[in-house]
Chain A
Amino acid sequence: MPERVLEIHALSPLLFRDGRPFSAADGTETAARSLNLPLPSTVAGFVRTQVGLAEGKGFSQEQLQNLHGLQVCGPLLARGDEVLLPAPRDAVVYGGADGSPQVMKLTPFSPPDGAGCDLPDGLLPLQVTQDVKPESGYNFWPAHEMERWLLGETVIPQKISGLPTETRVHVGMDHEKGKAQEGQLFSVAYRPLEMGKNPQTYQPASLRVRLSLPNGQTPAPIGHLGGERRPVAVEVKPSLSDYWFDCPEAIKKRFAELGKGARVRLVLATPALFEQGWKPGWVEKSGTGELHLPRGLARVRLRLVSAAVGRREPVSGWNLRQNQPKRVRWMAPAGSVYFFEVEDGNPADLLESWLRPVSDSEQDRKDGFGLALWGVW
């Protein structure tokens, strides 16, 4: 089936609510905040809406089931023509003695005899070689720097903090009296899809999504994404490889040399939903040939050695069909790193899931939770 890359281009600053309460009641916050990037489910819902609108068949039950089954991979943040990926959590950027940034690489560490730790059975801690305070603002890495990091090289990344925040204060006007209404003063933090602080550092940004369109549909070109029905434009890119971050040849070559006992690493490009919270449920099932595993993992048996997982993030939302809130689930954040050892199978098969979702549930994978980047350690 044909796969396409969609580029989402904002016409106004966008609002990606983080789910915190936002009401006029006393004592609660009267500020809405934005996530750094929209959730995969937000973008998947947007893409399916655009495809459904373009087809013009309405949204019947059968149509909804078809749309719900569309595979959406994303979103990735692009700055100009360059794909940016969330910073891996096994890289700690700190200021060196001369003030320039340095990187500490966290790797699994076997404690000597007589020492131990309270991690779950079989898991190793990560070794911290420098007692330093991490620098802030290194939230995204360019794709070419991530490639080198995945190959095990030491990388000093560019400082890219992500989309700026634009805070606006809103008032509701009393039409008769011409003054602000009581309790209708609130602020909202938006995310313009642009980067920089002035025209010298200005760069346009966009969101990119890869999706399968089994019947050759084309999404509607204009739509609304995120809170407050903010307008965005959608462009279907003709060439898949030019606009997506395909698996680099260097990584393919490196994985072709690996065999049993190889040590591989998984970095999440979007947040992932696992049955056990931070831990992928497919670890025990990998290599068994069981059905419904993420692509490429049915033939390679992996053992989880260690993990660098950021603070968990909630995802919930509103179920439009049943008209009720969704239950809150907890995501492993983007940038989380899992260290594996290959026990059986050909490690090169893992690359079949390059930038494809590896969440546990089939529908979460279709929504784009947990895009995978593979490397070595």
Chain B
Amino acid sequence: MQAKMIFWQALTPVHPGTGQDSSSVIDLPVAREAATGFPVIPASSLKGVLRDGRGLEKNDESEEAAIARRVFGYAGKKKKSDSEEEEDISQAAELTLTDARVLFLPVRSYAGTFAFLTCPLVLERLKRDQKALGLPELKASIPNPGQTDALLAQNTQIVHGDKVILEDIDLSAKVGGADALAQELGKLVFGEEAGYFVERFALVSNDVFAYFCEMGMEIIARVRLKSDTKTVERGGLWYEEAIPAETVFSSFAIGKSGFDEINRPYIQIGGQASVGRGLLRRLGVKYES
């Protein structure tokens, strides 16, 4: 068994819905982790998208279906070709995926257009999981920013005066306070595009990050119009929550083989597909089988 780390970046807002009613003013909230409140893309959604319905028809005897059943699993029975007897062709999945957790959250910034936020809790969890799975851990130390601080890279675009102004929160800019960390994360996640990331990187406190995970989601109001009068139908106004574009997620794939199944340049995940939600691009290196 081995593990691979996967990074996904949202190209359009992502709506991994919860499938149940929300008690707040948002009609369609996004899925969140129970212990932190951070948005998350469930592993079952990832698996379903990567499988793309292959190998589910029991009479499909193609090579592609056989590979999909081996990698993603299958439960069912099939008649033998030489008799009326049924045989069980169930098998457990060879590939295991974990939930895609938020790694960098884009937040509108007064300077530099937007900032990529992360916090010590997110990085420490990533480091813990890397260690548990036997992957190389982050080498740079993770500083602990104060409640009103933003630790930045040396070469940064998001400072205005001596402050980082995010939405309605002003933070004291510490230029160079997290330069080693920003460089390492940029290389790990974005590779050649690291510059675009490093210029916007900001390490903030856990509470500031949690605040933006709560308040920094995109809230999209939508209406349904009557076709004849072009006025809003009764009950036709609703609010959707979505994780904003440019967000970076991290997840892991665990198994003996089948890693080539995750080599897709992009996927569409979550609800509201026909209005463009949920395009994710794959970051990082390609994997052999």
A residues bordering B, Cβ < 8 Å? 9, 11-13, 164-171, 173, 175-176, 185, 187, 192, 194-200, 202, 204, 220-224, 229-231, 233, 235
Q: How far is the CB of B221 from chain A (nearest CB, A)?
A: 24
Q: Tell whether, in the assembled complex, residue B132 and residue A9 are in contact, meaning their CB atoms are under 8 Å apart.
A: yes
Q: Tell whether, in the assembled complex, residue A169 and residue B209 are in contact, meaning their CB atoms are under 8 Å apart.
A: no
Which residues of B in the span 138-153 have a Cβ within 8 Å of any Cβ on A?
Answer: none
B99 on the A face (CB < 8 A):
yes
Smallest Cβ-Cβ distance to A224: which chain B residue: B96
Residues of chain B within 8 A (CB-CB) of A165 are 34
Q: Which of A173, A196, A220 contacts B1 (CB 8 A)?
A: A220
B285 on the A face (CB < 8 A):
no
Q: Tell whether, in the assembled complex, residue B36 and residue A222 are in contact, meaning their CB atoms are under 8 Å apart.
A: no
- The dominant DSSP class at the B interface is loop
- CB within 8 Å: A-B pair count: 96
B160 on the A face (CB < 8 A):
no
Q: With A169-B20, A175-B56 in contact, is A198–B210 under 8 Å at CB?
A: yes
Contact indicator per residue, chain B 205-235, by CB within 8 Å of chain A (1) or not (0)? 0110110000000000000000000000000
Q: Tell whether, in the assembled complex, residue A194 and residue B3 are in contact, meaning their CB atoms are under 8 Å apart.
A: no
Residues of chain A within 8 A (CB-CB) of B42 are 168
Residues of chain A within 8 A (CB-CB) of B125 are 204
Q: Tell whether, in the assembled complex, residue B119 and residue A199 are in contact, meaning their CB atoms are under 8 Å apart.
A: yes
Q: How far is the CB of A337 from chain B (nearest CB, A)?
A: 31
Residues of chain B within 8 A (CB-CB) of A204 are 125, 128
Q: With A196-B35, A222-B3, A222-B254 in contact, is A11–B132 under 8 Å at CB?
A: yes
Alpha-carbon distance between A197 and B37 when the two chains are bound, in angstroms? 7
Smallest Cβ-Cβ distance to B32: which chain A residue: A166
Alpha-carbon distance between A224 and B98 when the two chains are bound, in angstroms? 12
Smallest Cβ-Cβ distance to B56: which chain A residue: A175
Alpha-carbon distance between A9 and B130 when the two chains are bound, in angstroms? 12
- The dominant DSSP class at the A interface is strand
Q: Tell whether, in the assembled complex, residue B35 and residue A194 are in contact, meaning their CB atoms are under 8 Å apart.
A: yes
Smallest Cβ-Cβ distance to A200: which chain B residue: B207
Sample of 18 more A-B contacts, CB < 8 Å, known A11-B129, A194-B34: A9-B128, A13-B34, A164-B35, A166-B33, A169-B19, A185-B19, A187-B19, A196-B35, A198-B37, A198-B210, A199-B119, A199-B209, A200-B207, A202-B206, A204-B128, A221-B133, A223-B1, A229-B96
Q: With A198-B210, A229-B92 in contact, is A170–B44 under 8 Å at CB?
A: yes
Residue contacts A-B, CB under 8 angstroms, 21 given: A12-B43, A12-B98, A13-B99, A168-B42, A168-B44, A169-B20, A170-B44, A175-B52, A195-B35, A196-B35, A196-B36, A199-B121, A199-B207, A199-B210, A202-B36, A222-B1, A229-B92, A230-B96, A231-B96, A231-B98, A231-B254
Alpha-carbon distance between A221 and B43 when the two chains are bound, in angstroms? 21
Q: How far is the CB of B5 from chain A (nearest CB, A)?
A: 12
Q: How far is the CB of B73 from chain A (nearest CB, A)?
A: 8
Alpha-carbon distance between A20 and B104 when the two chains are bound, in angstroms? 40
Alpha-carbon distance between A195 and B34 when the two chains are bound, in angstroms? 8
Q: How far is the CB of A41 from chain B (nearest CB, A)?
A: 20
B74 on the A face (CB < 8 A):
no
Smallest Cβ-Cβ distance to B38: which chain A residue: A199
Q: How far is the CB of A50 from chain B (nearest CB, A)?
A: 10
Residues of chain A within 8 A (CB-CB) of B252 are 11, 231
Residues of chain A within 8 A (CB-CB) of B99 are 12-13
Q: Tell whether, in the assembled complex, residue B35 and residue A197 are in contact, meaning their CB atoms are under 8 Å apart.
A: yes
Q: How far is the CB of A166 from chain B (nearest CB, A)?
A: 4
B93 on the A face (CB < 8 A):
yes
Closest 7 CB pairs of A and B: A175-B53, A169-B19, A233-B132, A194-B35, A199-B206, A166-B34, A164-B34
Residues of chain B within 8 A (CB-CB) of A170 are 19, 44
Q: How far is the CB of A288 from chain B (nearest CB, A)?
A: 47
Residues of chain B within 8 A (CB-CB) of A166 are 33-34
Residues of chain A within 8 A (CB-CB) of B34 are 13, 164-166, 192, 194, 197
Smallest Cβ-Cβ distance to B253: which chain A residue: A231
Q: How far is the CB of B80 from chain A (nearest CB, A)?
A: 20
Q: How far is the CB of A8 from chain B (nearest CB, A)?
A: 10
Residues of chain A within 8 A (CB-CB) of B92 are 229
Q: Tell whether, in the assembled complex, residue A192 and residue B33 are in contact, meaning their CB atoms are under 8 Å apart.
A: yes
Residues of chain B within 8 A (CB-CB) of A235 are 132
